[in-house]
Amino acid sequence: MPGSDAALVVIDVQNDFCPGGALAVPDGDAVVPAINRLMPHFPRVVLTQDWHPRGHLSFAASHPGRQPFETVAVDYGPQVLWPDHCVQGTQGAAFHPDLATAAAALILRKGMNPKVDSYSAFFENDRRTATGLAGYLSGLGVRRLYFCGLATDFCVLYSALDARALGFACTLVEDACRGIDLDGSLGMAVQKMREHDIEFTAAAAVV
């Protein structure tokens, strides 16, 4: 049962990450009913939205000769290249139509710098540029974060690891997440989260 110092962070439940979308996560839309049931049990809900300008550096199409899911070196280190996805203002970038967005206190958009990707809701992939979410949550006295959404092995993983490093207690609501699983990335993500004292729970155990 989440207390008064808890917040639910819903990562990137957007059309492009759901079946039929540009970067579909297998079974991605299955998280929606579980997340909608979780929301009323939290004093605060934050939604994130991957929100890229056209021609974003994370798009394979921005790198001549490169294909989606290849990794390239960019200024801040390795960057996986993705199909064009979550372009600002498009239907693909919109939340899944059944997600109960009215419950959200904050919608945080990320990945807006054309030259820097942002998996995490806290820091961009340069690992330096803050999004402001840590200050928002701390300012409200939030100390415990529950994570759900898409994708477990990218944006959920990086968000939860950053939250732990910032001192928040973190729980992954495992059945309210789905992963991409690129070259075993899902198993590695689960292992990393366990190593960093992120707890795992099922949605039914939260409420």
Annotated active-site positions, please?
A: 12, 110, 155
Cα separation, 31 vs 13, whole angstroms: 8
CB-based contact 50:14 (threshold 8 Å): yes
Instruction: Measure the CA–CA gap between 34 and 75, rounded to whole angstroms.
Output: 38
Residue 47 binding: pick among Zn ion, ligand VGL, none (C-beta 5-8 Å cut-off by kind) = none
By CB under 6 A, residue 147 contacts ligand VGL: no
What is the signed CA dihedral for 55, 61, 63, 65, rounded to 10 degrees? -160
Q: Which of residues 121-140 bind ligand VGL (CB under 6 A)?
A: none
Count of residues of this chain found to bind ligand VGL when the rule CB under 6 A is applied: 8
Among 50, 84, 124, 162, binds ligand VGL (CB under 6 A): 50
CB of 180 to ligand VGL, least distance (A): 7
Of residues 16, 29, 50, 124, which one binds Zn ion by CB under 5 A?
Answer: 50
Partners of 145 in the beta sheet? Answer: 7, 170
Task: Supply 142's token pair.
Answer: 């939030």
The answer to whether 168 touches 127, Cβ cutoff 8 Å, is: no
Determine which residue in the list 154, 161, 171, 176 makes contact with ligand VGL, applying CB under 6 A.
154
Residue 29 found at the interface with ligand VGL (CB under 6 A)? no
